Structure 1
Amino acid sequence: MQTNLTFFNSNLLIAFFLFTAIATPAAAKETEEKGSNTITTTKSESQIPNLQEINIPHTSTKFLTQDTPENTEAENTEAENTEAENTEVASQEGDIELDVVGTPLVNFIEERQQSPTGVIILDQREIQRFNYRTVGEVLRRQPGVVLGGPPGEDKDVRLLGLPKEYTQILINGQRFPDGGENREFKVDRIPVSLVERIEIISNPTATQNSQGVAGTVNIILKKAPDGRVADLTVSGTTLESKEPFGGLSLLYGDKQGDFSYLLSAGIQQREAPKNKFKQTLDLQNRPTQTERETESKSLLDISIAPNLVWRISPQDTLSFEPFFLRTTEEKDATRNIDNQKFFSPSGRLQELKQDHVNLNEDKTITGWRLGGHWEHELSATSNMKLGLFFQKTDETKSKIETINSTTTTFRNVDGSPINNTRNTTNIKREEEKKSDQDLFATLGFNFRPWENHKVTVGIEGSLRDREKKKISTEQEIVPTLKQPVEKTGPKDIYTIEENQLNIFVQDEIRLGEKHTLTAGLRMETIDNKATAGDSSEVKQSGTVFNPSLHYKYLVTPTTVFRTSLARTVRRPKFDDLIPFRDSKDGTLLKPDNVGNPNLKPETSLGIETGIEQSWGNNTGAFGVNAFYRSVNDKIENEINLNPENNRFEQSPRNVGDGKIYGLRLDAQTRTPFLGLPNLTLFGNVSFLGSEVEDKKSGEIRRFKEQPSYVANLGFDYTIPNWGMNFGLTYNILPGFENRELKDGKTEVTNQAGENSLDAYLAFRLTNSVQMSLFGKNLLAAERSKDRSIFNAEGVLENLRIERETAERLYGISLSWQF
């Protein structure tokens, strides 16, 4: 079955991209023949606009920009004219777009081509069209993106299919603290009602944080508008086994004189029920452990993101950008676990232990940010931007497991009569608190020393404090009531102070009419102090210099060639830096676990080259991008004999080097050449590869859980007379093999592919009311894993089967623009 599905997917992808490649010239030619005067031309690339002509309120891909009051009126008039032209062209092509409130009409294909560096831009229409609820659902459909976490939750972003710690998540251009040890941010917590746009940046410039080896996802929140906007959206969703649940979002803003404001807020409930099955088999194919679990998880997100902008003088603007995000999670699960032991060599059942486990877990994550920017125009060719922010995330978790066990032993004789039965009840409790706070400031300058140069220099500083305290206990209450026994681990309590200073300089240079070169250098210095629960502490500091170079060549007005080079870093997990020791047996099979405060960050030199072709007044585009990254000082767990105490220890170490490589293709086109001008086809496929050499065995393997490719196909169709849009997206994620050292043993995991299908139908009820129907995970995706576990000597010990399913989700949303 899996082979047939892979064959089908491969042929489907080949057919789609061959069709797009054949159709591209025809589409371009037909559009030009219909009337070249309808094609909107952009400003010549031979000129760099003055600073006062640049207006990028929604993105941080370019660092500092500011409008001057004398040009605001002219630019607004030009924007209105452009909007009118775009509307006229759209109507000529028979298109109808559902309204997007509070967002300027920007063609993201055009914007992507005009960018001096490579970036994928997701605008409001892409975000809202399929009624995505969270940022994770949006990103799943993008080139080279894999989402981790349980099926249907879409919370951990894995660009290029790499582990989540290689992807950087930014909110308005800055990292936001979260509870994860891998410095990740769970994007399923951010509702799309807050989001203006999303940028996926492959190779950073010097003005951007360097911690995205696989890439950076920059989530831009909604900004204060230039006029009144008001939108109320109500949504309702249901699962096959759950009562209906829903959400509410409000967007309201206006501009009064020199002051503009926006209130963006929302509340939404999410349900994530799961059914899990796990079974471990011995070498005789006998089940030694069988586990069945039913899980019910309910999440409630409350979000507030106001934005206030005040132009206090012709040269000065103040902005206030608070952000609040709170997620509460309630999880209840029931597990039934059967453990069996067998006599050797007879194979008769020796012991059967049956555990019935009730799990109750409550978690609350509260994050907020306060601060803003002051922008000052120094002259007609220079400006300054100063930002100051304080942000904090608190996470609390309370977990109780009640384990009722029945253990039955048997005699080693025919018929296996019962020898003895005993019952026990144990309660495990876990209380965990995490706090992560950060004070950071930024100061940057834009200036133009010569006509063809735009120079940016800046400095950033941050003071970060992180605390974790997890207390675990276990108590037996049957057959006798005993005192609780503490099970707190040696790295469950720690504090980390991490101070960072960044200095950067960048020059964007026009080399003639068609060439742009963006060169920069970024210095990042970090000082760490890690303190374990026993008050032992270790300090560490280091400085890295990260150069970047981006070249853009406008081959034709619709063809862009880019190549870039940038150095990035991946910093160690927080708890890997703790000076702890968790003593086991100290043997090769059960080594001691120890931290490594002397871990160095991984560094990577990434090279990307690509070409993009657009056509049909930027209604169609095709892009091909090749990438290569060398990775130095890769961090992995390793077992070594400590000669000082003659004990084996497992710890994270910088074990060696690796490389990542691949090819991304993406396409989008309307199809007037098929007689279907209202049909848009889109798709992308990313071929992914990587290599890591095992330092001891010399074996070459891939990075953890990286698939060989990931792809998305879909279409969108418009019926103008009915005011209706509908479409489908099909996500293809093949299986992979992964090898991991864990507790002195090697786990080899083979995970089957996961394909998913989403659909939507949207239509307008009145001029101010629109309705959408949508379905998610329509294929009821199942996660299937087979694990082979080998001991330290490479001998197979057992096999493990894991199956996990998520339910289909159906929903309706109603949006009122008032």
Structure 2
Amino acid sequence: MQNQLLFPLPLILVILIGFFQGEVLHAQNERATVSGQLRASDTNEEIMFANVLLYDSQEEEFLRGTVTDQRGQFSFSELSRGTYILKVSYIGYQTYSQSFYVGRLSEFLDLGIIMLEAKAYEISELEISARRDEIGRNLDRRVYNMDEQISQQGGSVLNAMQSLPGVTINRDGEVEIRGSNRVAVLIDGQQTAITGMGGQSGLDNIPVSSIERIEIINNPSSRYDANAMAGIINIVYKKGSEKGWNGNVNFSAGIGSLSKKRENIADIRDQYRFTPKLNPGFSVNYRENRLNFFAQGDVLWHKLITRNEFIIREYTDDQPAIRQQFLENRTQPIYNIKTGLDWMPDDQNSFTFFILYNQRDYTDLGDLPYLNNETGALVRLWQYYEYESNKTFMTSVRHQYSFPQAGRKLESTLNYSFRRKDELFHFTNMESGIPGTDTTDLVADENIFDLELDYFHPLRTGRFETGLKGRARIFPNEITFTPGINSILDLELQGTAEYREWLYATYGNYIYENPDFEVEAGLRIEYAEVDYLVDPNHSTYESDGYDYFGLFPSLRIAYLFNDANNVSFFYNRRVDRPAESQLRAFPHYSDPEILNIGNPGLQPQFTNSLELAYKRTYQQGYLYFASYARFSDQMITTIITRTGDENSRLVRINQNAGKGSNRGIEMTWSHSWSRDFRVNLNSNFYENIIEAFTLANAYPQITEFSQDRQRAWTGNIKAGTTISLPANLQLQISVIYYAPDIIPQGEISERYSVDFGLRMPVQQEKGEVFLNGSDILNTMNVKTITEGGDFVLRSSDFYETQVFRAGYQYRF
């Protein structure tokens, strides 16, 4: 599979079909506050009630004025990007004048202490006015308003992310940014046990109706954790700020799996059909004086087919080929509630308290028939009933102290998260006419303590940021095997384990800007220690872990041609620490012939990233290009090998596979042809390279595996249109196309889908109704080929992707 060109002709067709949904908004500081302090040069005392005037850069127009307070301080807020002239006058002192520049990166600027020389001078009375100018947009992140994602209303955050530019969903339901799943997911800027600490999880637990926006940060600064080389996804919950009572209520209902993608291969339980989806929710907010109370809750209840995979296992020796099906029908209620309080006891101090609770309970019914591929005879029927409950609680206390100088502040945050996972499997095995029964029970408790301290200091030409962070994470778990008749369980793999993580970090960021250049330079220093303690009776693994002391720099240099054109260069170094589930030394028996097991010896993955981005804004839209490259060492991946028994079963184990790289070009074009018609197109073409590697899987015995160098070009195109129709009706149509790609040991085929959404305001625009459909042609499925030297796996997964929803929302 070397030097393959996996880029097919259907891409051309997709470009002609439609245009990408939802305009991309680049995050920015739209306005800035500038402050300073006046002192007398002869006495060094603060000067109160001095006149401070603000002019444009040519001194042709007076903009506004103010007077200094009792500390001699002044400030101007809501300043747009540009160059200004500051004039200061006070009776008995010379008039002082200086220019300064307001850029896009700093929300606060400090002009420092201004010394006035003694000399008599008087000025006339002021007139105060204001003017706002349009500004350019940053290139380090993107912001998507969930209210604009009409075709995904009523679904989960994971559903909504599938349509976002630069984001794909892989075969395991994980989010990928530019071809990598090494993504950190935050909730309101904080890592939580809900969405995963070392890796991502739980995105299908959060309804879109609860979310205000999603931020995608491709090049995080040193202020963020060094974890996640592909970038950061920040999920921001809705929270009102209007005075008095306000909020909204919503309800949606849907149905999926209207037709079968493929019939079962044996006489097993039927695939779920016409699967119902329900999503009621509410959000309420009350603000009065210095208090702001907020609360929201929702339920996401649905049935769905999580997996419907058809697999053919072929061997190079005389073992017969096996044809199997992995069908998993799920019933899943999900409950979310978040409530909190913002409190400002005085002008310098503010507190935010909130509690977030998530509960996901699901029941899975699994059917796995195994047939002789040549004769069609049933070799084995494996069925299971699984009940899993995940309860997650998070609480956070945040304090902000604001210094008298505008923009200078100290923030401290204390977070605590707790998650309990109970997973119970009942297995029934019919093999060669002999029945068997088994039970496994996993209990895991995760405790996370986070403490952060951040300091922000505005400067005359930018700002300085610094901070500290500490984390303790304790994750004990225990799995118990209860063998029944004719058990297949390996009893030497049960027992206890405990994940322990200690993380200490400090960072510093310096931001400088002038009318032509912007520079953001930072360094994060991080020490991490992880111990994974394995039951001493474990037959394969023993306690292991890792630690590192690392320097993680970040850099952004931008050149501003004008307000409409700018180019930015990014560099950062990041780390991917293995998730606890990747280290877990217990097997997962949902498929007894392709076992999954973790690896306590897994090491962190380190990555250096480079990017050059350009954006041109014009009256009807914008055009964005980015060229990027990422170089990784100790790549974390999953390797499948044979177990060596007489049935030629397989085992999938997490491993470090050496070096790899990813380089490509991304383009986004957004254009409004009129007020009623907007089109968007996003394309992302990249080359994946996995260097040759050799490693050994440890279970059930040492099995060596070697892989030659793999290399392939791939990509995706997302296109959509938003059309305003009569009666205030809005229509969205989007098309998603994923090109073939390489994976460790193989490749994944192309896939595509078409979505639509309709929305109309009602009740004098206080209400809203919608109708949408995901994968309306029912074409999205995942086909892979995996080669292990002495075997080949050919898989096609026809899981549920087609869903139609209707809903209503009312705002008050």
Unaligned runs of 5+ in 1: 19-40, 50-60, 67-76, 86-109, 342-348, 408-422, 477-481, 583-589, 641-648, 741-747
Q: Which residue of 1 aligns with 2:688?
A: 690
- When normalised by structure 1's length, the TM-score is 0.74
- Per-residue displacement from partner, 1:554-590 (whole Å, max 9, x unpaired)? 22212221111111111134366579999xxxxxxx9
Match of 2:386 among 352, 361, 369: 361
Match of 1:679 among 661, 677, 681: 677
Amino acid at match of 1:735: P
Which stretch shows the higher mean deviation, 706-715 or 726-735?
706-715
Match of 1:558 among 537, 556, 564: 564
CA–CA separation in structure 2 for the residues paired with 1:48 and 1:808: 59
Q: Which residue of 2 aligns with 1:800?
A: 794
Q: Which residue of 2 aligns with 1:604?
A: 607
Secondary structure of the residue that 2:478 maps to in structure 1?
A: strand
- When normalised by structure 2's length, the TM-score is 0.75
Structure 1's 530 and 807: CA in aligned 2 closer, same or farther, altered over 3 A?
closer
Structure 1's 579 and 361: CA in aligned 2 closer, same or farther, altered over 3 A?
closer
Q: Which residue of 1 aligns with 2:525?
A: 523
- The answer to whether structure 1 residue 658 and structure 2 residue 660 are counterparts is yes
Structure 1's 506 and 271: CA in aligned 2 closer, same or farther, altered over 3 A?
same
**Alignment check: 8 A CA contact 1:156 1:186 kept:** no
Match of 1:304 among 337, 341, 366: 337
**Alignment check: 8 A CA contact 1:210 1:568 kept:** yes
List aligned pairs for 1:229-628, cutoff 5 A: 229-239=246-256, 240=258, 241-242=273-274, 244-273=276-305, 274-281=307-314, 288-339=321-372, 352-381=377-406, 382-405=408-431, 407=432, 423-448=433-458, 450-476=459-485, 487-488=490-491, 490=493, 493-510=496-513, 512-534=514-536, 537-538=543-544, 540-574=546-580, 595=599, 597=601, 600-616=603-619, 620-628=621-629
CA shift, 1:148, in A, is: 2.6
**Alignment check: 8 A CA contact 2:418 2:446 kept:** yes
Q: Which residue of 1 aligns with 2:49?
A: none
CA–CA separation in structure 2 for the residues paired with 1:17 and 1:234: 29
CA shift, 1:492, in A, is: 6.4
Which stretch shows the higher mean deviation, 756-765 or 239-248?
239-248
Q: Which residue of 2 aligns with 1:715?
A: 721
CA–CA separation in structure 1 for the residues paired with 2:204 and 2:194: 12
Structure 1's 815 and 601: CA in aligned 2 closer, same or farther, altered over 3 A?
same
Structure 1's 622 and 488: CA in aligned 2 closer, same or farther, altered over 3 A?
farther
Secondary structure of the residue that 1:631 maps to in structure 2?
A: strand
Match of 1:160 among 178, 196, 201: 178
CA shift, 1:360, in A, is: 1.2
CA shift, 1:229, in A, is: 2.2
- Per-residue displacement from partner, 1:288-319 (whole Å, max 9, x unpaired)? 32224543212211111223111110111111
- Per-residue displacement from partner, 1:166-225 (whole Å, max 9, x unpaired)? 111111222212597962223111112222211111111011111121111111222341
List aligned pairs for 1:78-93, cutoff 5 A: none
Q: Which residue of 2 aligns with 1:70?
A: none
Secondary structure of the residue that 1:312 maps to in structure 2?
A: coil
CA–CA separation in structure 2 for the residues paired with 1:712 and 1:639: 32
CA–CA separation in structure 2 for the residues paired with 1:545 and 1:772: 49
Which stretch shows the higher mean deviation, 553-562 or 247-256?
553-562
Identity fraction in percent: 15
Amino acid at match of 2:626: N
**Alignment check: 8 A CA contact 1:260 1:309 kept:** yes
**Alignment check: 8 A CA contact 1:562 1:611 kept:** yes
**Alignment check: 8 A CA contact 2:240 2:285 kept:** yes
**Alignment check: 8 A CA contact 1:179 1:395 kept:** no
Structure 1's 627 and 268: CA in aligned 2 closer, same or farther, altered over 3 A?
same
- Per-residue displacement from partner, 1:138-159 (whole Å, max 9, x unpaired)? 2112222121346xxxx41111
Structure 1's 205 and 790: CA in aligned 2 closer, same or farther, altered over 3 A?
closer
CA–CA separation in structure 1 for the residues paired with 2:10 and 2:587: 50
CA–CA separation in structure 1 for the residues paired with 2:634 and 2:317: 41
Unaligned runs of 5+ in 2: 21-77, 87-103, 110-127, 259-272, 589-593, 642-650, 695-705
**Alignment check: 8 A CA contact 1:277 1:291 kept:** yes
Secondary structure of the residue that 2:763 maps to in structure 1?
A: coil
CA–CA separation in structure 2 for the residues paired with 1:78 and 1:762: 40
Structure 1's 181 and 490: CA in aligned 2 closer, same or farther, altered over 3 A?
farther
CA–CA separation in structure 1 for the residues paired with 2:630 and 2:505: 23
CA shift, 1:444, in A, is: 1.0
**Alignment check: 8 A CA contact 2:572 2:610 kept:** yes
CA shift, 1:509, in A, is: 0.7
Amino acid at match of 2:251: V
Structure 1's 654 and 724: CA in aligned 2 closer, same or farther, altered over 3 A?
closer
CA shift, 1:322, in A, is: 1.6
Q: Which residue of 2 aligns with 1:811?
A: 805
Secondary structure of the residue that 2:436 maps to in structure 1?
A: strand
Counting matched residue pairs gives 669
Q: Which residue of 2 aligns with 1:197?
A: 213
- Per-residue displacement from partner, 1:636-665 (whole Å, max 9, x unpaired)? 57899xxxxxxxx99866553322211111
Secondary structure of the residue that 1:175 maps to in structure 2?
A: coil
Secondary structure of the residue that 2:147 maps to in structure 1?
A: helix
CA–CA separation in structure 1 for the residues paired with 2:303 and 2:105: 38
CA shift, 1:620, in A, is: 1.3
